[in-house]
Structure 1
Amino acid sequence: MQRRQLIWGGTALAALMASRALAEIPAMSPIVADGVRPPLAVRKFKSAAVEAVIKTTTKRLKDPDLAKLFTNCYPNTLDTTVETGVIDGKPDSFVITGDIKAMWLRDSSAQVSPYLPLAANDKNLRTLFHGLIQRQARCILIDPYANAYMHDPKAMTDLSWSQTDQTDMKPGVAERKWEIDSLCYPIRLAHSYLTVTKDTTPFDDTWRAAMHTILKTFRDQQRKDGDGPYRFNRTASEPTETLARGYGWPTRVTGMIHSGFRPSDDACTYPYFIPGNAFAVVSLRQLAEISETTGLGTDVKAGCLALASEIEAAMHAHGKMKDAQGNDIWAYEVDGYGNALFMDDANVPSLLSLPYIGFCAKDDPLYLRTRAAVLSDRNPYYYKGKVLRGVGSPHSGLNTVWPISLMMQALTSTDDSEIKACLSELKTGAAPRGFMNESVGKDDAAIFTRSWFAWANSLYGELILTLLAQKPALIS
């Protein structure tokens, strides 16, 4: 069985998938039921501030279906995925993805981001964030090339798909797929937390050591002198599960960072993954912004800014291709030899999400041309179906649209009609279950993957709150 071969809904697709092994995980958690928020007694984490937001927000939403989805989705991460504790006298927070009982650096950061605005005035939430920032730092110090980690830092992976991987698996690591964004998200979380709360408590020697490790890893993966220390192979039926040569396909040195895998955990075709490099540019500048306040110092600040500028210049020199009219657009992946791949994947960072991660403005001309190509037949993973149209992923198979991509389309749009269409499709996709999923069939909303996928639920909450703040007339 390969990783994330999850149970699919819908009889038509079930028949199609009959020959494939099903996952060793439940389709639905005991504390998650279709269309129903878990009862108070079994919720993992409780926040009065979050409950107040649910109450005030649902009153403002004129569409009862959007309101019901917000009630279910916005608190889903806290309700179902958070485990808190204390390690060495400091808060500890472990946040699983949902139906996979491991913590991804990417998912855990994204799952809690909608609660950040409340942390300034909610002590319990500050403790949660403190614990997650600390946990992520310890994970990075175990192995910066891992994408997912075990709750027990001494345990070997219990994920069936990663137990025989040919790589340097360490205790505490659940999966060891090198993805640039895995190290960007903890910086984004730390920067946002400090900006909102002004609280420097989480930023201790352990955290500072993790930040130094991130910088070293980014520089090592520029691969200016050989392939570097990371190698990965997996015996798998899908080519997206392993790396050619163990390092990925050959590249020419450009100054960009190599990535083995995309945020989907699928292998890169060409190792210079452009959305990941864009995210690194943003994250390095965020780390520079907080370096003095957090005790990293001016040398780290200067190093972050220099590296960010080098990567961005290399992106502009090597990371573009032409659209149908002969104008520049961003490629999805390149190799530095002039070869480029155009597509987009629903997972964030993506080309569609570049304004969301802070790399450019929504009205940036280069982005707008790229966005138009992403949301067209130029992108082999853009689907137009009977019920949904949006970006999917090789990760979930053909003809499925990810709700995350519809949310990202709405969050990066300046067109009210486009945003309304995305909201309508999100309702349609979630209607059979009352929660967001990883992917939904473009022609049949009864077809889906991952009934318990907290990142998608959190992002829906973030979308609704963003629209209420920026475009309230659309939904209130």
Structure 2
Amino acid sequence: MKCPFSPTNTSLAIVASALASQSRAQCPDYTSYAQIPHDPRSTGPLALPYMRPTPACRTFNSTAVEKVITDMKSLLKDPDLARLFENTFPNTLDTTVKYFNQSENLAFIITGFMHYQALFAVDPKLATLVKAVINNEARYVAQYPYCGAFQPPPESGLAPSHNVWADGVTVNPPVDNRTVFECKYELDSLCGFLKLSRSYYNATKDASFMNANWQAAVDQIFRVINEQAQGTFDANFNLISYYNWTGGHGALSPMVSNQGNGEPKAYTGLVGTHHRPSDDLSVFAFLTPANAMLSVELSNLAEILDSAGKLHNVSQQARDWSSRIYDAIWRTTVVDDIFAYETNGFGGRYVMDDANVPSLMSLPYLGFLDKQHPTYIATRKILFSRQNPYYSAGKTFNGIGGPHIDPWHPWPMSHISAIFGTDNDEEILESLYVIANNTNGLGLIHESQSIYDPSSYTRSWFAWANSYFAEMILDLADRRPGLILKENKSYKPTLMAFNNQA
């Protein structure tokens, strides 16, 4: 067997890469491609289009992903849902992998991989890509833990993008815009890095990603946790500020209040954040769902470190913080059996929800509590009602949105979270078809949708929502198969299933 780094193989790889790059250079921009329906249409009443790029224009190919698509197309009883799954499940790999070099262990993508986690163990190529994504993210987090959007790695040869929305924004500590695309501090970004790490480890049991880059990133995550859990003032009313962000000028959101430092907060055991998962400003610093996600992922971090026999001191620190945050959520955010979306430690509460995950609606999906928990059930009723300022309903569409767009443009993602959060078949089907019937004939999941006009939506192509939708369909195929599959028989893309069907 030839060495994979032999001159012959390296030359072939360079030629193949050049040919692939030349081929993709002739491909249409997917943002434009996604705004026009393409044939063939599904055979269901919605006649949904086929929205995958041609094979030559896809940014990554996975045999396991294609196998799951084939399986689900034959198993789903509604051909329109089958087409939605066919369009959405591969969307991340089809459109968002901008760079991947296995020998460098580096990859650069636009969105996440959570809906593929069951396949990491059955597709070595996909697992290698995910490992490279983790390593690249680790380098970013280790250097700029308060930032959540980055430029391509220098090894890629891709030029940094100029983000006009970052013009005129001052960040302290300062950042290098050749590395950082935007440095809004969102606590959930750090949680996402931890979640991808544990998903990869749990699927593969490969601990080699826990390298120096990754350990440095984890150290910086704990630095942010410790810094942002502190109150605004010390005992002598000295201002405690480790990070601030000013907007204005071309920035998409305004300046963080109080000269970029945020609303005052008192110590509670929760961790503060300046921005929500939507990029919008937090009203109060302690975002309940982001802290719930952090508590879960810190507990998971401890488990994978113990399983791998590594960093026992970090494992204990993770367990301590996970427990502290968990207790603080129940102690400080729940009143009359209702979770607040945000709190400040002074008694201030904002009862609402935002569709972006992590959200209150997504607490069962995050693994924070069981969907049957009384407090979740009570909160859920509030969130899908007029008592939530960002819930709205029209004749054909309804849901939870957020200030990122406006109150009359709910997000389909809120219905996806709602499906994850219930075992009620009627509720599941109602939310499922609210989503399916509101793609404006494009067969992809929009960012937001008007309650007044079906043709008024934002982002015909929203890879995050597409991924989340496909993950939900697979969850239903396993958890409630009789609702969507031709036979009431659970389907789950496990290693055993792939071996049996090989």
2:148 counterpart residue number: 147
Tell me which of 365, 372, 394 is aligned to 2:403. 394
Alignment counterpart, residue 340 of structure 1, candidates 332, 340, 349 = 349
The residue number in structure 2 matching 1:437 is 446
- Using the TM superposition, give the Cα deviation of residue 299 of structure 1 relative to its aligned residue in structure 2, in angstroms: 0.8
How far 1:157 sits from its partner (Å)? 5.6
Q: 2:291 aligns with which of 277, 282, 285?
A: 277
State the distance in 2 between where 1:291 and 1:32 align: 44
- Other-structure match for 1:85: 100
Count of residue pairs brought into register by the alignment? 432
Query: Which sits farther off after the overlay, 123-132 or 152-161?
Result: 152-161
Q: CA deviation at 1:233?
A: 0.7
Map 1:345-384; keep pairs closer than 5 Å.
345-384=354-393
Aligned partner (choices 247, 259, 277) of residue 234 of structure 1:
247
TM-score relative to the length of structure 2: 0.82
2:175 paired residue number = 169
Q: Give 1:241 shift.
A: 3.0
Does the 8 Å contact 1:318/1:336 carry over to 2? yes
Structure 1 residue 61, shift from structure 2 partner = 0.9
Which amino acid letter does the alignment assign opposite residue 179 of structure 1?
Answer: E
CA contact (8 A) 2:30 2:95 kept: no
Tell me: CA distance 1:114–1:239, structure 2 relative to 1, closer, same or farther (3 Å): closer
Specify the alignment match of 2:54 in structure 1. Answer: 39
Q: Judge conservation of contact 1:208–1:296 (CA < 8 Å) in 2.
A: no
Q: Are 2:108 and 2:136, in contact at CA under 8 Å, matched by a contact in 1?
A: yes
What is the Cα deviation at residue 30 of structure 1?
4.8
Map Cα deviations across residues 389-433 of structure 1 (whole Å, 9 max, x no partner).
Answer: 211111011211211111111111111001001111111111421
Which residue of structure 2 aligns with residue 129 of structure 1? 130
- Give 1:460's aligned amino acid: F
Q: Give the partner amino acid of 2:188.
A: D
Q: What letter corresponds to residue 81 of structure 2 in structure 1?
A: L
Q: Which residue of 2 aligns with 1:412?
A: 421
Task: Report if the CA contact (8 A) 1:157-1:163 is conserved.
Answer: no
Q: Please give the alpha-carbon distance, in whole angstroms, between the structure 2 residues aligned to 1:431 and 1:49.
A: 30
Q: Structure 2: which amino acid aligns with 1:85?
A: F
Note closer, same or farther for the CA distance 1:164–1:198 as it changes in structure 2 (3 Å cut).
same
Code of the residue aligned with 1:268 in structure 2: it is: S
> Matched residues in 2 for 1:312 and 1:203: separation?
26
Query: 1:94 is paired with a residue of what secondary structure?
Result: strand
Query: For the structure 1 residues 236 and 354, does the alpha-carbon distance in structure 2 shift closer, same or farther, using more than 3 Å as the test?
Result: farther
| Aligned residue identity for 1:210 | A
> Using a 3 Å threshold, how does the CA distance of structure 1 residues 389 and 239 change in structure 2: closer, same or farther?
same
Identify the residue that residue 207 of structure 1 maps to in structure 2. 214
| Contact 1:84-1:91 at 8 Å conserved across structures | no
Structure 2 distance, partners of 1:372, 1:267, is: 25
Please say which of residues 348-357 and 233-242 is displaced more in the overlay: 233-242
Which residues of structure 2 form unaligned runs of 5+?
1-28, 38-48, 486-502
Match of 1:192 in 2: 199
Q: Which has the higher contact order (CA 8 A, sep 6+)?
A: 1
Taking only aligned residues, the RMSD between alpha carbons, in angstroms, comes to 2.0
Taking a change above 3 Å as real, the CA distance of residues 446 and 128 of structure 1, as seen in their structure-2 partners, is same
User: 1: CA distance between counterparts of 2:206 and 2:421?
Assistant: 30
- Alpha-carbon distance change, 62 to 55 in structure 1, aligned in 2, over 3 angstroms: same
1:310 aligned counterpart, secondary structure = helix
- Which residue of the other structure, out of 58, 66, 72, is the alignment partner of 1:51? 66
Deviation, 1:292, is: 3.1
In the TM superposition, what whole-angstrom CA distance separates every residue of 1:305-360 from its partner, at most 9, and x where no partner exists? 11112222222222123xxxxx2211011111111111100000000001100110
Equivalent of residue 471 in structure 2, options 450, 453, 462:
462
Q: What is the one-letter code of the residue matched to 1:199?
A: D
Checking the alignment, whether the CA contact within 8 Å between 2:416 and 2:431 is kept in structure 1 is yes
Asked if structure 2 preserves the Cα contact closer than 8 Å seen for 1:385 and 1:443, the reply is: yes
Identity over aligned pairs, percent:
37
> Is the contact between residue 27 and residue 451 of structure 1 (CA under 8 Å) also seen in structure 2?
no
- Is the contact between residue 389 and residue 407 of structure 2 (CA under 8 Å) also seen in structure 1? no
The aligned residue for residue 14 of structure 1 is none
**Compared CA separation, residues 178 and 342, structure 1 to 2 (3 A):** same
Is the counterpart of residue 311 in structure 1 residue 325 in structure 2?
A: yes
What one-letter code is carried by the residue in structure 1 that aligns with 2:322?
A: A
Other structure's SS at 2:245 match: coil
Distance 1:317 1:120 in 2: 39
Letter matched to residue 41 of structure 1: A
Matches within 5 A, 1:79-118: 79-86=94-101, 89-96=103-110, 108-109=111-112, 112-118=113-119
1:421: which partner in 2? 430
Residues 1:157 and 1:46: Cα distance change in structure 2 (over 3 Å): closer
Question: 1:251 deviation in Å?
Answer: 1.3
- Which of the residues 271, 282, 289 maps onto 1:268? 282
CA deviation digits over 1:97-139, x for unaligned, max 9? xxxxxxxxxxx33xx1111111111111111111111111011
Match of residue 120 from structure 1: 121
- Give the number of the structure whose alpha-carbon radius of gyration is greater: 2
How far has the Cα of 1:264 moved from its partner? Answer: 0.5
Letter in 1 for 2:355: A
Partner residue in 2 for 1:28: 31
With normalisation by structure 1, the TM-score equals 0.87
**Deviation at 1:164?**
1.7
Distance 1:133 1:33, change over 3 A: farther
Separation in 2 of the partners of 1:124 and 1:150?
24
Q: Quick check: 239-248 or 38-47, which moved more?
A: 239-248
Q: Residues 64-105 of structure 1, C-alpha deviation per residue, up to 9 Å, x if partnerless? A: 111111111110111011123338x43222111xxxxxxxxx
